[in-house]
């Protein structure tokens, strides 16, 4: 596990450039969960992996995230951080914005340092993700804490805009951030230098665009995301979490089906 100290607070920037995804069938999407009529439902729950192609401890966690990504009860996202780019390999999917998200979680979760690999589960806890058991325990705790969810309804026709709908939900007098992550389903990258030199790394659900859609009061609401923010072959996930990187109270994903 590679560690990096947390510097002083910096403003969080949102929005890495979007890019084309892997070989998928455009125009055919599968929503992973639909909310009940009162806006509450069981799952899914969020797992966010902070990783780097320059970190030789990360491939087992990357592989595990790939397995989690296949589960309908999990929204699995991979955020590539940029603070290992100096050690011999520049991760092509890393950005300052994703690093800032990890540092924000570290402050909220009272970590002394950020590290890779790190999986943050539903905004309530973290572990390396190199072994499944600690993550499964965190998922069980997330399910215990938040059995009823503000699950967003996601819909998109062809390559058109994305529609996000949230039914009314009791946030306990707090507000929530509604955030959109647009991701590539899979990348296979030959590594020519650095700690993973000579390996071909597989990365799953790599986030390429991340934006704050709105701060939400819990009242019924609907938003439209322009199609230019989303590639035709990319997956989309929406996280609903207490403001400023608090616990996740709902999430969902919408993905093109693999061709074949």
53-108 per-position pLDDT tens digit: 999 999 999 999 999 999 999 999 999 999 999 999 999 999 999 999 999 999 99
Share of the chain above pLDDT 90, in %: 78
Res 39: pLDDT: 44
Q: What is the CA radius of gyration of the chain?
A: 17
* Domain boundaries 24-258, corresponding CATH code: 2.60.40.10
Strand order in the sheet with 125-127: 24-31, 248-258, 235-242, 176-190, 200-216, 74-80, 45-51, 118-121, 125-127
The mean predicted confidence, pLDDT, of the chain is 87
Res 229: pLDDT: 84
How far apart are alpha carbons 210 and 231 in whole angstroms? 13
Q: Residue 9: which residues within 8 A CB-CB, separation 6 or more?
A: 107
The pair phi, psi for residue 249, each rounded to 5°, is -110, -5
In tens, the pLDDT along 234-251 reads: 999 999 999 999 999 999
Res 3: pLDDT: 60
Residue 25 pLDDT > 80, yes or no? no
Res 258: pLDDT: 58
Number of residues that this document lists for the chain:
260
Share of the chain above pLDDT 70, in %: 83
For residue 160, count CB atoms less than 10 angstroms from its CB and return exposed for 0-12, middle for 13-18, buried for 19 or more: middle
Global confidence as pTM = 0.86
pLDDT interval class at 43 (50, 70, 90): confident
């Amino acid at each position: 596990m590679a560690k990096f100290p947390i510097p002083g607070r910096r403003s969080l920037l949102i929005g890495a450039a979007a890019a084309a995804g892997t070989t998928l069938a455009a125009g055919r999407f599968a929503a992973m969960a639909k909310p009940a009529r009162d806006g509450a439902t069981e799952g899914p729950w969020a797992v966010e992996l902070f990783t780097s192609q320059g970190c030789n401890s990360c491939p087992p966690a990357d592989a595990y995230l790939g397995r989690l990504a296949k589960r309908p009860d999990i929204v699995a996202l991979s955020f590539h951080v940029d603070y290992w780019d100096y050690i011999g390999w520049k991760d092509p999917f890393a950005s300052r914005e994703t690093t800032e998200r990890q540092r924000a979680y570290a402050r909220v979760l009272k970590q002394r340092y950020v590290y890779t690999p790190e999986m943050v589960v539903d905004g309530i806890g973290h572990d390396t993700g190199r072994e499944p058991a600690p993550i499964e325990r965190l998922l069980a705790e997330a399910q215990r804490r938040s059995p009823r969810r503000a699950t967003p309804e996601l819909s998109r026709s062809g390559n058109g805009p994305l529609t996000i709908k949230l039914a009314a939900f009791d946030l306990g007098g707090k507000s929530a951030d509604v955030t959109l992550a647009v991701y590539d389903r899979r990348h296979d990258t030959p590594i020519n230098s650095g700690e993973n030199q000579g390996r071909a790394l597989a990365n799953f659900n790599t986030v390429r665009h991340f934006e704050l859609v709105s701060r939400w009061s819990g009242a019924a609401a609907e938003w439209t995301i322009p199609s230019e923010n989303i590639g035709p072959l990319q997956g989309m996930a929406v996280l609903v979490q207490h403001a400023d990187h608090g616990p996740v109270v709902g999430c969902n994903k919408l993905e093109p089906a693999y061709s074949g």
